[in-house]
Amino acid sequence: MINKDPMNTETPVIEIQNLVRRYGRHDAVNGLSLTVQPGQCYGFFGRNGAGKTTTIKCLLNLLRPDAGGVRVFGLDPRKAEVAVKSRLAYVPDLVAFYPWMTVRTTLEYLASFRRHWNRDIENDLLTRFQLDPTKKTTSLSKGQRTQLALIGAICPEPELLLLDEPTSGLDPIVRREFIETVIGAYQSGDPTRRTVFVSTHLISEFEGLIDEFTILEQGRELLSMNADAARDRFKKIRARLPQEMKLNLTGALQVKRSGREVEILANGNCAQLLAELKMHSPEELKTESLTLEEIFVASDVLKKAVA
């Protein structure tokens, strides 16, 4: 496969090209393309049913694409399943363990499939999460199951960590610990060999972690951007004018008015909109960036911008 960026000679960790996957007549994924470079933390956002899990399952060869292709570490997961899977770890939204095993035997079992297993990290995390190794997996809470799955995913120190809605349904403290663990324990290795691909709709919690993201809608890419660039491009301007008046707000994504007050969504043209507003001597003028979550919530409006 040809690498588009001549400066970047490294093989992308994930390459998805025109991926299509149908369930009967329903197109779950319909022409998705994206690239994840080594060392990135990539956010994969979308509503329920947007096709996030289907895409991730194609990366893992749990589903086969109907058209297009995926490559992981430059390899085709259908042909090189073991080579691909030995270099990644996956935490699904619903984790299941063998009910007759304890925490300790589950970890031994998971380790038996791996060439490498970091015992120090295992011990650190068991202590941190206060997980009792002698406990049966059936007696664990949902939060503890996710913690156990996370330990199982981090100890082999994989080059790619695939997280599918990892924190949904967990309490805020467990969620916070989960993210701190990804940052602290997982990212502590060689940064170019620590890539995270996380699908979530709890975006605000991952905001600081995300380098790039794709918003998926109905199986297609709605927007793919660098996180800092996105926060720079999409801004909300609030102004209170001395009286109601006509404004030239061309290029604004959205304008909401209530009497003398206007709220404008800027799409990379913040300076031009501010200049227009300043000409009318506003009593108050405020600008703030949209967070990634707000950008995601504004998807309907964004459709116009990217169309």
Partner 1 sequence: MRLQLDFKSGTPVYLQLVDQIRHAAASGGLRTGEPLPGIRPLAEELRVNRNTVAKAYAELESQGVIETLPGKGCFLKAVGSPLTKSARNDLLIQEIDRAIVAAHHLQISEADLLALLKKRLEAFARQHSAAHD
Query: Strands of 26-36's sheet, edge to edge?
Result: 26-36, 14-23, 67-72
Q: Is there binding between residue 235 and partner 1 (CB under 8 A)?
A: yes
- Dump the DSSP string for 197-258: EEEES-HHHHTTT-SEEEEEETTEEEEEEEHHHHHHHEEEEEEE-SS------TT-SEEEEE
Amino acid at 44: F
- Among 68, 74, 184, 268, the residue binding partner 1 under the rule CB under 8 A is 184
Q: Is there binding between residue 228 and partner 1 (CB under 8 A)?
A: yes
Q: Is there binding between residue 268 and partner 1 (CB under 8 A)?
A: no
Residues from 270 through 289 that contact partner 1 (CB under 8 A):
278, 287-289
From residue 286, give the alpha-carbon distance in Å to each of 48, 138, 242, 269, 270.
34, 53, 15, 15, 11
Q: Is there binding between residue 176 and partner 1 (CB under 8 A)?
A: yes
Residues from 30 through 59 that contact partner 1 (CB under 8 A):
39, 41
At 269, list the tokens: 């043209």
Handedness of CA 118, 120, 123, 126 (dihedral sign): negative
- Among 208, 256, 283, 303, the residue binding partner 1 under the rule CB under 8 A is 208
Q: Which stretch binds partner 1 (CB under 8 A): 4-12, 23-31, 154-162, 173-181?
A: 173-181
Kindly tell me which of 84 and 150 has the beta carbon lying closer to partner 1: 150
Q: Is there binding between residue 27 and partner 1 (CB under 8 A)?
A: no
Kindly tell me which of 209 and 301 has the beta carbon lying closer to partner 1: 209
Binding site residues, partner 1, CB under 8 A: 39, 41, 176, 179-180, 183-184, 187-188, 191, 205, 207-211, 228, 231-232, 235, 278, 287-292
